[in-house]
Amino acid sequence: MLRRAAAITLLLTACGGDDPAPEPLAARLSDGTEVVVDETGSIRLSLDGRVLFASDGPIAKRFDETFTSTLGTWIFSREGEEAIPIGSYAGAEKNGDQVVVRYTGSGLTAELTITPGEGEVSELRWLVSGGALEAVAIPVACDAEASFYGFGEQYNATDQRGEVFTLLVTEQGIGRDPKKPPSGLNGGPHTTYFPMPYWLDARGHGVLVETSQRVNVDLCQADPAVAEVEVVDDAPVEMVVFHGPRPADVVRELQARVGRPTAPPSWAYDLWVGSQGGRDAVLAEVDALEAAQIPFGALWVQDWTGQRPNFDGGFGVQYRWRPDLDFYPDLAGMIADLHSRGYRFLSYANPFIDPALEHFPDMDAQGLLIHDSLGESYVHLAPNGTASHPDLTNEASRDYVKGFLRAMVEDLGMDGWMSDFGEWVPLDAVLADGSDPIAYHNEFPVHWHRLWREVMDDARPDGDFCVFARSGFTGVQAVSQIHWVGDQEATFSPYDGLPTVVPAMLNLGLSGVPFVTHDIAGFSGGPSTKELWLRWVELGAFTPIMRTHEGNDKENNWSWEKDAESTSHFRRFARVHAALKGELLAIADEAVSTSLPMVRHLLLMYPDDPEARRIDDQYLLGPDLLVAPVVVEGATTRRLYLPEGPWFHVWTGEAYEGGGYLEIDAPIGSPPVFARGADRADLRAISE
């Protein structure tokens, strides 16, 4: 379970009657925060004249709820919902270094405790008592300047003000286009592999709800003056308020609370090429890349366990942690040979246990799988048809999985892998330690990624490994390394294609995940077009980890060897990425020391620029490179925003003075990239 805060707590307690005419309160805590409670019970938490958090009494909720599952996503339905405000002010007092505020209403009582936390945070704890509840909602003041960035990995935008959504680990959904008819594969605007009940206000403060339960948010849609944060649980609602005072400080304070990722090794910033199809096919591609003089440093081979057909076309991989030695004979020898040629080898692993493959009988017999209500190993729908999951609350199950992950490193010589999935654990699973299944579902990505982290830290304590993960939740930052932004459609779709990559990377960075990557050129659907592939390569060159994927429709998707222009384009931008390696290493070191992500929202570097806050389709790669990728099909120009200061167009050397928008020519091969303060003739000189 997540660590519970000892400070901001809403306590709904069954107290006697209301105190007569309770007095307002103004108090200063030891960390300098000012707590003001007015005569109505509205609370305001301030520091140095800045309002950090404001709220009224909580709202208790009762309802009957059911859910249905549709291939890694869940739909919840409520009946008989009753919202019970507990907003009658019953008094406040300062006890030592904390403030306690009491409320009553409809036979319920609530108590809010506000305490200084460790570091530059305040802790709030709301405890509601007096009857059975299904959820507690906290109303948060939403003034005209309030903004809501973060929430883990979100694809639609960065500021989520005006949105209503659920925070539950799910599949992203394939398509997410509201104009398409709903199906079991469709997601919605906020279905995501990596949700997080956390937001950052661009004015320089933020909030984390410390819970593993499902959280629903209404960010000033139903009531423009109120953001409602509902935790679907009857436990105390615990929040951490980050003091800032700048957005970058909030990200640093968040990482201090949830954990800090460790930096990848230097070779991670070389090009990674996705290759598959068996030993001969992979080695032939290595030879072809060398012949084409394309600089790359790592291969990632997802089908080392064998191939299987996908239900939606194309082919996937076999769900196991052992090699297919017919497909990849002498895999250990092959990896050793690649190492001798100067290349790293990355593979693939996920937590599904296929009933038709070797792990299931062993794990079933030993009771190592999640169980259903009848005490049987829980077999559920999965991308391969049906599968189960290891019960990672069971130490023996953790040891079983870690044994195979360790063999991938120690016996086969792998340098890391894609740590895929982690979102499909059923919400009604029965766990060995009695954990609440919905809380465990959200926590599962943390458990899953902790396995490889423990293996790698033991096998390669020098940090010479790369693992890139898909799923996440609060606390995964402490065990993960790189996150990729999931299975985009191989299209220009604004709902789930190329345009969603930049917002996803930005939101991850604002949520404490500094090392990011994405699939060039998408995964689902297809086939990808030549234009899409060329544009995605341009974006990849200016991403910390430049990595290709052959996609679900491998045989028909566009790729680097399809024609001479594509090969030349790939070679040039691979060389551009290679030329950035020294800067990427420095930015990675900065991410470790300051918590600033490598891919930065403009508000992190220009917090006093109101226009910079609005931008979610361009970013800063470190402090000095502004990247505005072309993500619209057929576009040859791009409108972008330059913050104040001198900027130089990387491909022309032309100087611009920032502080406004401009329309720039952006043909294929010249994605808008600007260098702050100095011309980048070195990048311009890189030829095809």
**Residue 378: band (very low, low, confident or very high) from pLDDT cuts 50, 70, 90:** very high
Q: Determine the Cα–Cα distance for residues 88 and 429; give it in Å rounded to an integer.
A: 40
Write the pLDDT tens digit of every residue in 402-421. Answer: 999 999 999 999 999 999 99
Instruction: Give the strand pairing for 655-657 and 646-649.
Output: antiparallel
- Dig out the tokens for 520 from the structure: 């060039």
Q: Determine the Cα–Cα distance for residues 194 and 201; give it in Å rounded to an integer.
A: 20
- Angle of helix 581-594 versus helix 564-579 axis, rounded to 10: 50
Write the pLDDT tens digit of every residue in 202-254. Answer: 999 999 999 999 999 999 999 999 999 999 999 999 999 999 999 999 999 99
Supply the DSSP string of 43-95, one letter for each residue. Answer: EEEEETTEEEEEE---EEEEEEEEEEE-SS-EEEEEEEEEEEE--EEEEEEEE
This prediction's pTM = 0.95
DSSP at 372: -
* Predicted local confidence at residue 313, as pLDDT: 65
Residue 561 in contact with residue 286, Cβ under 8 Å? no
Write the pLDDT tens digit of every residue in 56-72. Answer: 999 999 999 999 988 89
Phi-psi region of 166 (alpha: psi -120 to 50; beta: other; left: phi over 0): beta
Average pLDDT for residues 133-152, to the nearest whole number?
A: 97
Residue 278 in contact with residue 553, Cβ under 8 Å? no
Q: Determine the Cα–Cα distance for residues 7 and 4; give it in Å rounded to an integer.
A: 9
Average pLDDT for residues 152-181, to the nearest whole number?
A: 91
* Predicted local confidence at residue 420, as pLDDT: 98
Average pLDDT for residues 356-368, to the nearest whole number?
A: 98
**Over 70: is that where the pLDDT of 12 sits?**
no
- Dig out the tokens for 632 from the structure: 């619209």
Q: Which residues contact 287 (CB under 8 A, 6 or more apart)?
A: none
Q: Which amino acid belongs to residue 68? A: T
Residues in the chain: 688
Q: Determine the Cα–Cα distance for residues 394 and 388; give it in Å rounded to an integer.
A: 15
Q: Determine the Cα–Cα distance for residues 348 and 517; give it in Å rounded to an integer.
A: 16
Question: Which residue would you say has higher pLDDT here, 492 or 186?
Answer: 492
Q: Minimal CA–CA distance to 403: which of 324, 477, 349, 476?
A: 349
* Predicted local confidence at residue 315, as pLDDT: 78
Average pLDDT for residues 95-103, to the nearest whole number?
A: 97
Tell me the backbone φ, ψ of residue 597, rounded to 5 degrees.
-70, 160
Report CA dihedral (86, 91, 92, 93) to the nearest 10 degrees: -150
How far CA 130 is from CA of 220, 343, 658, in Å, comes to 29, 63, 58
**Residue 186: band (very low, low, confident or very high) from pLDDT cuts 50, 70, 90:** confident
**Residue 1: band (very low, low, confident or very high) from pLDDT cuts 50, 70, 90:** very low
- Dig out the tokens for 482 from the structure: 């790189």
Using H for helix, E for strand and C for coil, what is the string for 99-132?
A: EEEEEEECCEEEEEEEEECCCCEEEEEEEEECCC
Write the pLDDT tens digit of every residue in 509-544. Answer: 999 999 999 999 999 988 999 999 999 999 999 999
Burial of 235 (0-12, 13-18, 19+ CB in 10 A): middle
Q: Please, what sign has the CA dihedral across residues 599, 345, 266, 286?
A: negative
Using H for helix, E for strand and C for coil, what is the string for 210-263?
A: CCCCCEEEEEEEEECCEEEEEECCCCCEEEEEECCCCHHHHHHHHHHHHCCCCC
The 3-state DSSP class for residue 160 equals coil
CA 256 to chain centre: 17
**Over 60: is that where the pLDDT of 3 sits?**
no
The 3-state DSSP class for residue 587 equals helix
Residue 108 in contact with residue 130, Cβ under 8 Å? yes
Q: Determine the Cα–Cα distance for residues 420 and 417; give it in Å rounded to an integer.
A: 9
Q: Which residues contact 3 (CB under 8 A, 6 or more apart)?
A: 210, 475
**Over 70: is that where the pLDDT of 9 sits?**
no
Q: Minimal CA–CA distance to 111: which of 96, 131, 139, 89?
A: 89
Average pLDDT for residues 282-305, to the nearest whole number?
A: 98
Q: Determine the Cα–Cα distance for residues 61 and 80; give it in Å rounded to an integer.
A: 10
* Predicted local confidence at residue 173, as pLDDT: 81
Write the pLDDT tens digit of every residue in 457-487. Answer: 999 999 999 999 999 999 999 999 999 999 9
- Dig out the tokens for 122 from the structure: 């305040």
| Averaged pLDDT of the chain | 94
Q: Minimal CA–CA distance to 130: which of 214, 42, 60?
A: 60
Residue at token pair 């404001």: 54
Burial of 246 (0-12, 13-18, 19+ CB in 10 A): middle
Using H for helix, E for strand and C for coil, what is the string for 467-520?
A: EEECCCCCCHHHCCCEEECCCCECCCCCCCCHHHHHHHHHHHHHCCCCCEECCE
Q: Determine the Cα–Cα distance for residues 460 and 415; give it in Å rounded to an integer.
A: 9
Q: Determine the Cα–Cα distance for residues 293 and 572; give it in Å rounded to an integer.
A: 10
CA 268 to chain centre: 20
**Over 90: is that where the pLDDT of 360 sits?**
yes
Peptide bond into 623 cis (omega under 30): no
* Predicted local confidence at residue 687, as pLDDT: 82
**Residue 20: band (very low, low, confident or very high) from pLDDT cuts 50, 70, 90:** low
**Residue 43: band (very low, low, confident or very high) from pLDDT cuts 50, 70, 90:** very high
**Over 50: is that where the pLDDT of 6 sits?**
no
The vertex-194 CA angle with 615 and 474, nearest 5°, equals 105
Supply the DSSP string of 550-575, one letter for each residue. Answer: --TTTTTS--TTSSHHHHHHHHHHHH
Residue 140 in contact with residue 473, Cβ under 8 Å? no
Residue at token pair 């038709």: 356
- Least confident interval from 71-75, 96-100, 124-128, 275-279: 71-75
- Dig out the tokens for 90 from the structure: 């019953």
- Dig out the tokens for 391 from the structure: 């019960």
